[in-house]
Structure 1
Amino acid sequence: MGPKRYLVLFQYRRTHYSGAVRTPADQPVFGVQNYLEQAAQNLKPLVPIKFCISSETDAGVHALCNSAHVDIQKEAGKPPFPGSILVSSLNHWLKSEEIQILSACQVPDDFHARFSALSRTYIYRLVVGCSYNSQIPVFERDLCWAPRGDHLNVPATQEAVQFPLGTHDFSAFHSICATMPPKSPIKTLIHVDLRPFSSFLSYHYIQRRLQFWELEFRSQSFLYKQVQRMVGALVAVGQGKLKPYHIKLLLEVRDSLAYPHNTIALAAGLFLKSVEYDDANLQAAGAAGE
């Protein structure tokens, strides 16, 4: 019997990880993948388990739900792992980490966590009313960004968020990274939205005159730091440093060097919210696997 392929959904808080993907063993800080694979070896597979991660989030970025596929080869005659057993076993070995397995199901052998994804959704959380990040409430630290200033022109920002929608050359919103291979800057932004964010502590925050906002972006894929650069430019519009039409101009100029200096948003407020697949196929595969 050959290996069985599983889709694994997992989440993590960025606290002390270098990012989502594996780092070499001699590095001082490991990636989430290092810990996932270390936990998976306790399943005693015939072949070491490797996680093929769909979305390679950077250091400082959280994930409400990331995904990966894994191939698990068991001894001849032994049945495949049910998804529920895989989840509970991995979570047992990950209990000391800020990583949690959400679900696992069998998928076809040709399923690929990255290339089978229909889209990815990111959210970015802002808090308005703090002069410095050190003034962010204790329970929100490392989970949002506090740009300087006590005001966000919401109508102007909502006007600006319409310009990136659709298919564009996002070169101006692409941070160049020498260690990453060049990618096409042409991306299609399916959805973008600005909305107030509330939590169980909202009343207390209102008393402190703090406002929380959430920006949401969905696309099949994103360029390196594209979301952080879009957020930074949109916040600059809300603060009056840029006009809404400047977002349109940045798209038209198609030059990373045209991006305003010191505008990029911090990583702390960025979350990978979800990776979307064809639900019907996954549900059928999961039912067959169980």
Structure 2
Amino acid sequence: MGSARARYLVYFQYLGTGFNGVAAVRGAQRAVGVQNFLEEAAERLNSVEPVKFTISSRTDAGVHALSNAAHLDVLRRPGLPPFSAQVLAEALNTHLRHPAIRVVKAFRVPDDFHARFAATSRTYLYRLATGCLRPGQLSLFERNLCWALRADSLDVTAMREAAGHLLGTHDFSAFQSAGSTAQSSVRTLRHISVFPSPASPFVLPEESRKLQFWSLEFESQSFLYRQVGSALVLRGRGCGGAKAPAADWALGSQVRRMTAVLVAVGLGALAPTQVKAILESRDPLGKHQKCVAPAHGLFLKSVLYRDLGKRRSLQSRAPQASRDEPPPPC
């Protein structure tokens, strides 16, 4: 009886604080990625060949994931059957050495399945909080989970109008790092929404009256990932008209750049029509498109592998799925 090789699709989540992004960091560097811990846990599966995770969606340092995905191959010794998907997920969780990472679900998939290229949709969520007039006003439990703005409010109507200019298929060069080596910056943004969020359960009642939480959602089959170059990361009141914001230099993603521009609209520093002009400029070095929203407010919300008409996602459908049946082909 020969060795049994099996490919799995694994959904996992993590708090990005303290990680150098999701991708593994190789070599003797002190920084680590989420993938480092996943592959370390996979070593305990005793695969004949080293187990490597092929990540569906790369995220920047500090960015969180409610649901990311990856595929991996496990080759067991001759005579041993493949792990069931449930056993694989439980084994990975048992051996994970970092408390901020959790494997949520696993599926057996065909040998030619690819977690990155087979994904039909990715959705990102960005969380904002307004009314943080003083440093340190935001609850300790929210500080690494949202962008705290000093402004009392946002012009959400203007933000939604501006978001409409980003919908559809465009060249998003203006929202990628200068010097990007991406072969194409054309993407199709299928959905953007700006909406109020419920009051945080981690904020004291007397504080919650002064604070308002907001969410921005972006959906596309793929987004421009960070490339060669740097961008200004703003805190405080946002890009344009910011009140002496603290800043550092970091690589940024398309979603964080779009968020920063929409926040600038919400703060009155940009008109909605200027967002269309920024997009059409294809210039990543403009004043506003260089701004990048802080990483800690961004969450990868879901990765979908179903036909878009059925939209089977981890969050909405996985509990009803058969334990060992793979998702249907895209």
Structures share fold, TM-score greater than 0.5: yes
> In the alignment, which residue of structure 2 is the partner of 1:127?
129
Give the 3-state SS of the residue equivalent to 1:136 in structure 2. Answer: coil
Instruction: Pick closer, same or farther for the CA change 1:68–1:259 going to 2, 3 Å.
Output: farther
- Cα distance in 1 for residues equivalent to 2:87 and 2:171: 44
Displacement of 1:168 after TM fit? 0.6
- Cα distance in 2 for residues equivalent to 1:288 and 1:182: 32
- Cα distance in 1 for residues equivalent to 2:299 and 2:26: 25
> In the alignment, which residue of structure 1 is the partner of 2:147?
145
CA contact (8 A) 1:118 1:278 kept: yes
CA contact (8 A) 1:132 1:146 kept: no
CA contact (8 A) 1:173 1:259 kept: no
Displacement of 1:141 after TM fit? 1.2
CA contact (8 A) 2:86 2:323 kept: no
- Cα distance in 2 for residues equivalent to 1:278 and 1:133: 44
Displacement of 1:17 after TM fit? 0.9
Unaligned runs of 5+ residues in structure 2 are: 227-252, 313-317
- Cα distance in 2 for residues equivalent to 1:267 and 1:148: 18
Give the 3-state SS of the residue equivalent to 1:163 in structure 2. Answer: helix
Percent sequence identity over aligned pairs? 48
Q: Which of 81, 84, 89 is 1:82 aligned to?
A: 84
Q: Which of 275, 278, 292 is 1:247 aligned to?
A: 275
CA contact (8 A) 2:37 2:98 kept: no
Give the 3-state SS of the residue equivalent to 2:325 in structure 1. Answer: helix
Q: Which of 306, 315, 320 is 1:278 aligned to?
A: 306
Displacement of 1:159 after TM fit? 1.1
Give the 3-state SS of the residue equivalent to 2:147 in structure 1. Answer: coil
Q: CA RMSD in A?
A: 2.3
- Cα distance in 1 for residues equivalent to 2:64 and 2:294: 12
Instruction: Pick closer, same or farther for the CA change 1:132–1:33 going to 2, 3 Å.
Output: farther
CA contact (8 A) 1:4 1:106 kept: yes
Q: How many residues align?
A: 287
Unaligned runs of 5+ residues in structure 1 are: none
Instruction: Pick closer, same or farther for the CA change 1:253–1:132 going to 2, 3 Å.
Output: farther
CA contact (8 A) 1:108 1:285 kept: no
Displacement of 1:177 after TM fit? 6.0
- Cα distance in 1 for residues equivalent to 2:82 and 2:204: 49
Q: Does 1:237 align with 2:265?
A: yes
Instruction: Pick closer, same or farther for the CA change 1:40–1:205 going to 2, 3 Å.
Output: farther
- Cα distance in 2 for residues equivalent to 1:95 and 1:123: 27
CA contact (8 A) 2:41 2:97 kept: no
Q: Which of 93, 96, 99 is 1:97 aligned to?
A: 99
Instruction: Pick closer, same or farther for the CA change 1:186–1:209 going to 2, 3 Å.
Output: same
CA contact (8 A) 1:236 1:263 kept: no
Give the 3-state SS of the residue equivalent to 1:37 in structure 2. Answer: helix
CA contact (8 A) 2:51 2:73 kept: yes
Looking at secondary structure, tell me which structure has more helix per residue. 1
Displacement of 1:202 after TM fit? 6.8
